[in-house]
Amino acid sequence: MSFYRIAGTVVDYTPGCGMMERKTEKYRIPKDGAIPEITISFREGFLECKQKEYPHLDRERCEYLYAGIQFYEKLIRLRRGFMIHASAVEADGGAYLFSAPSGTGKSTHAGLWVRYLGADRARIINDDKPAVCLEEGNCFVYGTPFSGKTDLNENRRAPLRGVAILCRGKNRIQRLSPSQALYPLLDQMVRPRREEDMDKLLTMLDFTLAHVPVYRLWAENSLKAAQVAYEGMKGEIGT
């Protein structure tokens, strides 16, 4: 049994594979005085059953997937926050999310921000599933161990300054209304199985959309795309 602090939440979890041991190591905390808020565990035979159901998943990927689902659902039940399929960049002290279906280029665009702004001003804090948590009346982005095929994640948080729904196309950015942004964001989340959990997620999303600007971003694979996105999202902070 090991304790971790993930997205500001104490988690009791014993990784069963090398990949999850590696991904969670930077989140490990001493047990002394820590009280777990979330426990991640699997009943006997669960992962083996899932591997038979989904033969393309090896043991490590299967554990990674279902540990992430457990954490996500239990984070929602605590009303602390949610995870979203996105790349998260911290730039000038604030966090920016780039969300899109796999293969659209969110990781590429996040990398362009680091190149455009420089490593002293920008860093990737999660490359696949960051957590958005509601704390102190604000929205914060946390790195999590659930970073897809890469280990691009950091155990840190930053205030959420903007979200971009990424599309391929000529560089331009357009702000969306909360109603326009809701379903594109939901499309990049796992829908909770329980109705009461879905209600909690929607309540937290409503709060997020009321406090954080969301954009539609058309971007090419160029530093100019990062410039357009940065200037467009940075320019509306506080409005």
Q: Which is nearest to 183 in space by CA: 99, 95, 70, 75?
A: 99
pLDDT by position in tens, the chain (length 239) = 799 999 999 999 999 999 999 999 999 999 888 899 999 999 999 999 999 999 999 999 999 999 999 999 999 999 999 999 999 999 999 999 999 888 888 999 999 999 999 999 999 999 999 999 999 899 999 999 999 888 899 999 999 999 999 999 999 999 999 999 999 999 999 889 899 999 999 999 999 999 999 999 999 999 999 999 999 998 754 33
Q: pTM surpassing 0.75?
A: yes
Q: Where are the alpha helices (DSSP H) in the chain?
A: 18-24, 46-53, 59-77, 106-117, 178-186, 195-211, 223-234
CA distances, 60 to each of 48, 51, 63, 163 (Å): 11, 10, 5, 31
